[in-house]
């Protein structure tokens, strides 16, 4: 009888330890999004605008595990404009829809599978930028 209890106890320990080995820790949110994104599409008030001669990039750098800092860089006809500081951007896991970007409590975009979407209102116009991670 003692042997049966010993076998049951040892098998329980074996299977309990096995589950812990299979779990990989999820990477930090910031590690999933840091990098440079090249804007490939620009919409102003819902109308697609051509990027003729303009190269727009958004650089996201790690600040903490759930916060990044951002800079937007613009080149018009090969001439660099001053960088636009995007400040601190909070990251929230949105499950199957990717990672949401927040400025304070306002959602300003998302990132999923290396695709960046940013939504801003500037001088009364709704601007949407879509880009790919480089």
| In the chain, where the domains are located | 29-133
Whether 116 and 109 have beta carbons less than 8 Å apart is answered as: yes
CA distances from 55 to 4, 24, 82, 104, 130 (A): 71, 38, 13, 28, 13
Token digits of residue 51: 């990027």
pTM over 0.85: no
pLDDT above 70: percentage of residues in the chain: 81
Q: What is the DSSP letter of 95?
A: G
3-state secondary structure of 47: strand
What's the CATH superfamily of 29-133? Quinohemoprotein amine dehydrogenase alpha subunit, domain 2 (2.40.128.120)
Q: What is the pLDDT of residues 28-52, one digit of tens each?
A: 899 999 999 999 999 999 999 898 8
124 pLDDT above the threshold of 70: yes
């Amino acid at each position: 009888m003692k042997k049966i209890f010993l076998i049951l106890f040892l098998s329980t320990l074996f299977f309990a330890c096995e589950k812990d080995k299979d779990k990989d820790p999820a990477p930090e949110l910031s590690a999933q999004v840091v990098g440079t994104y090249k804007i490939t599409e620009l919409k102003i008030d819902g109308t697609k605008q051509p990027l003729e001669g303009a190269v727009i990039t958004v650089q996201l750098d790690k600040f903490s595990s759930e916060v990044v800092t951002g800079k937007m860089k613009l080149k018009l006809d090969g001439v660099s404009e001053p960088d636009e500081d995007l400040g601190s951007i909070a990251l929230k896991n949105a499950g199957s829809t990717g990672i949401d970007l927040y400025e304070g409590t306002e959602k300003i975009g998302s990132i999923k599978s290396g695709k960046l979407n940013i939504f801003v209102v500037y001088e009364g116009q709704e601007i949407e930028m879509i880009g790919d991670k480089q």
